[in-house]
Amino acid sequence: MSLLFFPHVAFYRARLKARRWKDYLILSTSGGDEGRIEEFLRILASDGGEDCCLLKVGKGRRVSMIATENGKKVFKLYTPKKGPRGLLHAFFPSKALTEYCIALKLFSLGIPVPQHFAVLGRRWFPGMGESILVLGYLEGCERLSKVFPSLGRDERGPFLERLARFAKRLHSTCFCHSDLWAKNILVEANKGTFFVVDLDGGFFSCMLLPFRAPVNLAQLLFSLNGSSSLTGKEVKLFLRAYGASTRMEVRTIRAYHRKFGPWPWKGEVCWQDLC
C-alpha cells in the first residue's frame, strides 16, 4: 500500500537502517547513538528545563528544540488523531517517516532542507502510533514572514525575484507542498539561501503539480501581503520571475480568489498584463 500511494517513502524506507531500542523502532541512514536519543527523549518528556524549548504546538504535533553538546536538535512529536480511523490508515506510513523520506529526496535533488537525522516510531505497525522526527536546528535562519517586513523598499524587488526562483526550483522537482506559507520558508542570515520546512503533508506528483503549484503561489502572496503589503509592481515581478505560463498565472489568481477572497491587485495586475 505504501508503494502504491507513497512510492518515494517505499524507495527510501528500503534503504534506511532499522533497529529496535526499548519500545521504539529507530530508522536512519546511519547507526546513530541510542544513548543520546535516550537523553533527548528524557529531556523531551520533562516538558522543559534549560535544554528544552517548546517551538510550536499544533493539532497532533509538538515541536521542541533541545540543546546538546553536538549542537541543537529539533524534535517533532506526532501523536495519532483521536477517534476511529479506517482500515486503510493502518498501511499508511507515519507523518514523521513521510517527512523524513521527502526531505531525503529533496536533498538529493538539490533543494535546501534542514538535516534530518532519524525517525523514532512506537507501534510502527499498524502505523497509528506515536512517531518522532529528529532534525537539525538551522542557526542564523529566520522565518520568511519575519524577514520580509524588515526589508527596505529597494531590497524587496530582488528578494521577491530570488524567492520566486526558489519556488520554481522546488516545483521543478514535482513536489507539491501542502502549506507553502511564508512561515514555512526559512531565510539564512545573509538572505541568500531559502530552506523549506514542514514537509509532512506534501507529495510528489507531476500530474497534480499544475493544479497544486498555483495554490502554493497564492499562499505565498497572501502570507507576504498580510505581513507587509505588496504592491502591484512587486506581484507582477514575482509572477514573472517564477516564469510560469499564462495558464499557470490565471490559475494562481483563481486559486487566490477561491481560498482567500478577491484578488487584491485587480486594478493593477491582471493576467493580461503578464503576457
Does residue 136 register a pLDDT over 80? yes
Q: Within a 10 A sphere around the Cβ of 152, how many other Cβ atoms?
A: 7
pLDDT in tens, 216-269: 999 999 999 988 889 889 999 999 999 878 888 889 999 999 999 998 887 666
Q: What is the pLDDT of residue 161?
A: 93
pLDDT in tens, 177-209: 988 999 999 998 776 789 999 988 888 988 889
| Cβ atoms 97, 27 nearer than 8 A | yes
When pLDDT is averaged across residues 133-153 and rounded to a whole number, the result is: 89
Q: Please tell me the distance from the alpha carbon of residue 101 to that of residue 199, in angstroms, as a whole number.
A: 10
When pLDDT is averaged across residues 125-148 and rounded to a whole number, the result is: 81
Q: What is the pLDDT of residue 14?
A: 79
Q: Among 3.30.43.10, 1.10.510.10, 3.40.50.720, 3.40.50.10490, name the CATH number for the domain at 141-274.
A: 1.10.510.10
Any idea which residue has 497544486 for its cell?
A: 212
Does residue 2 register a pLDDT over 70? no
DSSP E strands, 115-166: 116-121, 131-136, 141-143
| Cβ atoms 196, 184 nearer than 8 A | yes
> Between the ranges 63-67, 126-130, 260-264, where is the mean pLDDT highest?
260-264
The confidence band for 272, taking pLDDT boundaries of 50, 70 and 90, is: low
**Of 135, 126, 106, 121, which Cα lies nearest the Cα of 194?**
106
133 half-sphere exposure, CB direction, 13 A CA radius = 28
Q: Please tell me the distance from the alpha carbon of residue 18 to that of residue 132, in angstroms, as a whole number.
A: 14
Helix H or strand E segment including 233: helix 232-242
Q: What is the pLDDT of residue 117?
A: 84
Give the SS3 label for residue 28.
strand
Q: What is the pLDDT of residue 164?
A: 94
